Amino acid sequence: MNTLVKELLRIFTRKVPGSLVPDSLVRGFIHAYKQLRGTQERLDFFRLVTRELGLSVNEVNTAVRLWDSAVTRGAAPATSTSASIVTSSSPDQQAVLPPLQWDAAYRAADRLASAATPLYSQLFVPISQAPDGMKFLVDMRADLMDVVAAATAAAAVAAPAQAAVPVVRGDSSSSGHGASTAATPSGSAAVAGDAREAGVHAAAAAGSVRATAPAALAVSPEEAAHLRAMAEQLRQLLAEWFSVGLLHLQHISWEESPAALLERVMRVEAVHPLGGSWEELRRRLGPRRRVFAFTHPCMPGEPLVVLHTALMDRPALCIDDILSHGDDHHHQDAQPSAAAAAAAPGPTTAVFYSISSSQPGLKGIELGHFLIQRVAERLTAEHPSLRQLVTLSPLPNFRAWLTSQLQQQQQQQQQAPAGVASSASGGGSSSQQQQEQKEQPQQLLLPAERVAVVGLARAMGWQCAAPRPASTGATPLSDLTSAAEAAAALAWLLDGDRWLSHGSAVASAPASLPAAAATSAPPSAADAASAAAAAMFSGPFAQPPQPEAAARPQPPAMPLARATGFDADSVLRPLLMRLAARYLVREKRRSFALCPVANFHLRNGASLWRINWRADMSELGLRRSLGIMVNYQYQLDNLYDNNRRYLLQHEVTTHPQVQEILTGEH
Ligand SMILES: CC(C)(COP(=O)(O)OP(=O)(O)OC[C@H]1O[C@@H](n2cnc3c(N)ncnc32)[C@H](O)[C@@H]1OP(=O)(O)O)[C@@H](O)C(=O)NCCC(=O)NCCSC(=O)CC(=O)O
C-alpha cells in the first residue's frame, strides 16, 4: 500500500492538467481497499492516504501569494483595496480591474482552488469512472464516517476531557444532525461544514460505542480533522454526481419492475419491515398504493431511497389504516373493475408512510427531501383530486429517550442533598417543596400525572422501594408524590410493556392486588389519586375524538379500572402524548429537533400536524415509539417559509392538536 501511495503522490504532485491517472493505479487502489478488514485496518489506510495525499500547506501558501500579487497588480491603487475588488459584485468596482488582469486573477484563483483541494481528490474522479466505481466511493464514504465515529469514541475514552472539545469540534451555533446541510428547498449550499457535521455524528456515535472502543483506534485532533475533511470531499463530489437531475424517479410496480429491484425494495424497508414476505410487498404495491424510488445510472438496480405512499380519502391516523390485511379492497385480487375504478371519487389525501435510504454513504445529500418533492409533484399532477399531503411517521427513539429521562429523574433524586430529597419524598416543609420545584423546573411529570401514574402502578402490584409519605390532609397529595417515585412507577409500567397487560395482571393476581394497594398506599391517598386522575382525563390532555376510533383496535375491558378507578390507557395516554409532543417540539440537539424523523420532515418544510395514540401497536412500533405515530403535513405553499423558520429560528410549526397537548407543559 505504501508503494501505491508513493506512486500516486509522484503522479499527483507532477500532474499535468488533463493528464490521466493510470488505470492500473486506480484498480490498485480499489483492490487494496477491498482487502482491508475491520475498522482498525481502514483507519490505518485512511490515515496513510490523508497524511501522504492530503492538503499541502506549502502549496496553499504559494497559491495565496500568487493570488495576492495577481490582485494587487490589477488593482487601481487610489480607489480600492484588493479585497473590495475581488469580493464585490458591484459592476462599478469590478470595472477597476482591466480585462487583462482579470485573466491573471482567474488563473490565480484556479491555482488557489486546486491547492486547497487535497491531492487524493484527484483519484476520486477516475475511480468513479471505473466499473462499479461509484458504488465503491459511496461505500468508502460510509466506512469513513464509521471510522470517524469509532475513532472519536476511542479518543473520548482515552482522554475524555480533551476529546470532548477538540476532536468533536463544532460551532455551537451550527446545526445538529443533517440540519447543517442547507435544506433550503433547492437543497444547495451547506450552512456549516461537513467536517463539523461529521464531528457531530462522531459525538453521537461516541455515546453508543464508548464502552467498547479499542484505544488503538484513538486519533489525534489533527488526524480527526484530516479524516473529516476527506469525508466532506467525498460528500461534495457525491452531491454533484447524485444531483436530482441525474437521478431517475422510478415507480415500483409489481407487474413491471424487475424481481431483483423488488427484492431490493423489500430489503431496504426500514420503517415497517416486510419480513421477507413477497405477499406483503405485493399488497404494498396494490391499488391506491404507490411506491417510488430514486435510482442512478451508475448504480443500476439499486434503489437509493424508497418512498411508500397510500392514496386515501382522509389522512391515516394509525398504520392499520394503511397496512391492515382485513381491508380487502387493498388486495391485488380484489382489484375493482375498470368501470368501478373510473366512477370512484379520486383520492383526496396522499399519505407518505415510509421512507428509507439504502446508502449510508449518501448521507447529507438529502435524497429523501428530493424524493418527497418529486413524488408530491407527480402525484398532484396525476390526481387532481388530491388536497393534502401528510406523512404517518414513527418517533423511533422516543422510548429510548423517555427511558433515559426516567432514569435521570430517579438518579437526580438519589443524588439530591438530604434536605431536598426528604422534601421530595414528603418529609419536608411545603416551602422546601416549593424550593425543590424551583430548582427542577423541567420535571418530566406534572403533579396530577405523578399521582395517577403511581396510583396505577401500585394498583398493578408495583411496590416502591422508598417509604411513602402519609397525607396530612393539609398538603395536596400531588405535592407528596415525588418526581422520582413517579418516574420509577412509570418506568416499571413501561418495562416489558406491563401497561398493556394490565387486564391479565389483574386476572392472574386477583388476591394480591388489593393487598398491595392497601399496604403501599393509604386509602385516603388512593381516593385522592383517583380523583386527581379523573380530573386529568377529562382535561385538556384528553385526545379529541378521532373519526375512525370505532374501527381501531381498542384496549380490552379492564377489570382493574373497575376495581380501582385507574386504567392504564386513560392514565398513560394524556401523559405519554404530552411527553411525545415535548420530545418532538422542545427536545433539541444543537437547536434542532432531537427526533431524527422530526428533524428530517421539519427541515423539508413540513409542519407537525397531529400526534396519534395507539397508532402502531406492532412489536417494533411499541419498542421504538410506544405505539405513538405522528402526521407531518406537507403544504406545498408553506414549505419554503417553514423550512426557513426551522433553520433560522429553530421554530417548529405546529397545528392546534399539538398545541393543545402542549398547553400543560411548563
Ligand atoms: C429519512 C431518511 C430516508 C433521510 O435520508 P436522506 O439521505 O435523504 O437524508 P439526509 O441526506 O438529510 O441525511 C440524513 C442523515 O444524514 C446525516 N447527515 C446530514 N448531513 C451529514 C453530513 N454532512 N455528514 C454526515 N452525515 C450527515 C443526518 O444527520 C441524518 O442522520 P440521522 O438520520 O442519523 O440523524 C433516512 O434518514 C432513513 O432512511 N432513515 C431510516 C428510516 C426512517 O426513519 N425514515 C423516516 C420515517 S418514515 C416517515 O416519516 C414517513 C414518510 O415520510 O414516508
Strands 592-593 and 607-612: unpaired
Distance CA 659, CA 641 (A): 19
Q: Which atom of ligand 1 is nearest to the CA of 270?
A: 42
The parent domain of residue 136 ranges over 1-54+118-154
- Tell me the CA–centroid distance for residue 125 and ligand 1, in Å: 26
Helices (H), 362-497: 367-382, 398-415, 418-424, 430-439, 447-459, 477-480, 483-494
Give SS3 for 289. strand
Beta-carbon contacts of residue 550 (< 8 Å; ≥ 6 apart): none
Contact predicate 353/315, CB 8 Å: no
| Least-confidence region, from 146-150, 199-203, 353-357 | 199-203
CA angle in degrees (0–180, nearest 5) for 513-403-158: 140
| Least-confidence region, from 50-54, 251-255, 487-491, 641-645 | 50-54
**What sign results for the dihedral spanned by CA atoms 124, 128, 129, 132?**
positive
Q: What is the pLDDT of residues 445-483, one digit of tens each?
A: 999 999 999 999 998 899 876 655 555 555 555 555 688
Contact predicate 170/201, CB 8 Å: no
Is a pLDDT exceeding 60 seen at residue 623?
Answer: yes
Q: What is the pLDDT of residues 199-252, one digit of tens each?
A: 334 444 444 444 456 677 888 888 999 999 999 999 999 999 999 999 999 999
pLDDT at 536: 40
pLDDT at 502: 63
Q: Which atom of ligand 1 is nearest to the CA of 194?
A: 23
Domain shared by 252 and 383, yes or no: yes
pLDDT band, residue 172 (cuts 50/70/90) = very low
Contact predicate 462/489, CB 8 Å: yes
Q: Which atom of ligand 1 is nearest to the CA of 362?
A: 7
Is 231 part of a structural domain of the chain?
A: no
Q: What percent of the chain has pLDDT over 70?
A: 66
pLDDT at 342: 67
Domain shared by 259 and 360, yes or no: yes
Domain count across the chain = 2
**Ligand 1 pocket test, candidate residues 600, 634, 643, most atoms within 8 A of CB:** 600
Does the C-beta of 393 come closer than 6 Å to ligand 1? yes
pLDDT at 144: 97
Q: What is the pLDDT of residues 374-414, one digit of tens each?
A: 999 999 999 999 999 999 999 999 999 999 999 998 887 66
Is a pLDDT exceeding 50 seen at residue 150?
Answer: yes
Distance CA 476, CA 345 (A): 57
- Tell me the CA–centroid distance for residue 367 and ligand 1, in Å: 9
Is 453 part of a structural domain of the chain?
A: no
Average pLDDT over residues 82-95: 49
Distance CA 573, CA 649 (A): 31
Task: Please tell me the residue having the least CA distance from ligand 1 atom 17.
Answer: 178
Domain shared by 147 and 262, yes or no: no
Q: What percent of the chain has pLDDT over 90?
A: 51
- Tell me the CA–centroid distance for residue 420 and ligand 1, in Å: 43
Task: Please tell me the residue having the least CA distance from ligand 1 atom 4.
Answer: 368
**Ligand 1 pocket test, candidate residues 363, 588, 603, most atoms within 8 A of CB:** 363
Is 136 part of a structural domain of the chain?
A: yes
Is a pLDDT exceeding 90 seen at residue 534?
Answer: no
Instruction: Return the H-helix or E-strand segment holding 295.
Output: strand 289-295
Distance CA 348, CA 311 (A): 7
Does the C-beta of 471 come closer than 6 Å to ligand 1? no
Domain shared by 287 and 141, yes or no: no
Q: What is the pLDDT of residues 409-444, one digit of tens each?
A: 888 766 654 444 444 343 344 455 455 444 444 679
- Tell me the CA–centroid distance for residue 53 and ligand 1, in Å: 31
Average pLDDT over residues 163-175: 34
Which backbone phi and psi does 357 adopt, to 5 degrees?
A: -100, 140
Domain shared by 137 and 284, yes or no: no
pLDDT at 571: 92
| Least-confidence region, from 50-64, 100-114, 164-178, 351-365 | 164-178
Is 363 part of a structural domain of the chain?
A: yes
Distance CA 147, CA 227 (A): 9
Contact predicate 595/601, CB 8 Å: no
Helices (H), 97-245: 99-115, 121-129, 133-158, 160-162, 194-209, 221-241
Q: Which atom of ligand 1 is nearest to the CA of 367?
A: 8
Does the C-beta of 197 come closer than 6 Å to ligand 1? yes
Give SS3 for 97. coil
Domain shared by 253 and 147, yes or no: no
- Tell me the CA–centroid distance for residue 600 and ligand 1, in Å: 6
Does the C-beta of 181 come closer than 6 Å to ligand 1? yes
Domain boundary among 136, 154, 172: 154
Does the C-beta of 242 come closer than 6 Å to ligand 1? no
Is 454 part of a structural domain of the chain?
A: no
Does the C-beta of 367 come closer than 6 Å to ligand 1? yes
pLDDT band, residue 180 (cuts 50/70/90) = very low
Domain shared by 142 and 255, yes or no: no
Question: In this predicted model, which residue has the larger pLDDT, 532 or 225?
Answer: 225
**Ligand 1 pocket test, candidate residues 357, 390, 594, most atoms within 8 A of CB:** 357
Closest CA to 103 of 78, 70, 76: 70
Distance CA 488, CA 494 (A): 10
Beta-carbon contacts of residue 477 (< 8 Å; ≥ 6 apart): 451, 471, 525, 528, 529, 532
Q: Which atom of ligand 1 is nearest to the CA of 396?
A: 44
Does the C-beta of 291 come closer than 6 Å to ligand 1? no
Task: Please tell me the residue having the least CA distance from ligand 1 atom 5.
Answer: 368
Domain shared by 147 and 267, yes or no: no
Q: Which atom of ligand 1 is nearest to the CA of 357?
A: 39
Q: Which atom of ligand 1 is nearest to the CA of 204?
A: 34
Distance CA 611, CA 398 (A): 13
Is a pLDDT exceeding 70 seen at residue 87?
Answer: no
Domain shared by 126 and 249, yes or no: no
Is 18 part of a structural domain of the chain?
A: yes
| Least-confidence region, from 111-125, 288-302, 415-429 | 415-429
Distance CA 27, CA 131 (A): 10
pLDDT at 3: 78
Domain shared by 260 and 123, yes or no: no
Q: How many CA atoms lie within 13 A of 237 on its CB side?
A: 23
Distance CA 626, CA 616 (A): 8
- Tell me the CA–centroid distance for residue 309 and ligand 1, in Å: 18
Per-residue DSSP letter, 210:
G
- Tell me the CA–centroid distance for residue 54 and ligand 1, in Å: 29
Residue 626, C-alpha cell as written in the block: 410506544
Is a pLDDT exceeding 90 seen at residue 79?
Answer: no
Is a pLDDT exceeding 70 seen at residue 135?
Answer: yes
Mean pLDDT of the chain: 77
Give the distance, in angstroms, between the CA of residue 358 and the centroid of all CA atoms in the same chain.
15
- Tell me the CA–centroid distance for residue 621 and ligand 1, in Å: 19
- Tell me the CA–centroid distance for residue 356 and ligand 1, in Å: 8
| Least-confidence region, from 14-18, 99-103, 251-255 | 14-18
Amino acid at 332: Q
Residue 472, C-alpha cell as written in the block: 396530612
pLDDT band, residue 531 (cuts 50/70/90) = very low
Residue whose entry in the numeric block shows the C-alpha cell 404495491? 285
Contact predicate 369/183, CB 8 Å: yes
pLDDT at 86: 46
pLDDT at 122: 87
Is 370 part of a structural domain of the chain?
A: yes
Instruction: Return the H-helix or E-strand segment holding 629.
Output: strand 629-634
Which backbone phi and psi does 389 adopt, to 5 degrees?
A: -120, 120
CATH number, domain at 361?
Answer: 3.40.630.150
Does the C-beta of 355 come closer than 6 Å to ligand 1? yes
Distance CA 423, CA 434 (A): 9
Q: Is 4 exposed, middle or buried (0-12, 13-18, 19+ CB in 10 A)?
A: middle
Domain shared by 144 and 9, yes or no: yes
Does the C-beta of 101 come closer than 6 Å to ligand 1? no
Is 421 part of a structural domain of the chain?
A: no
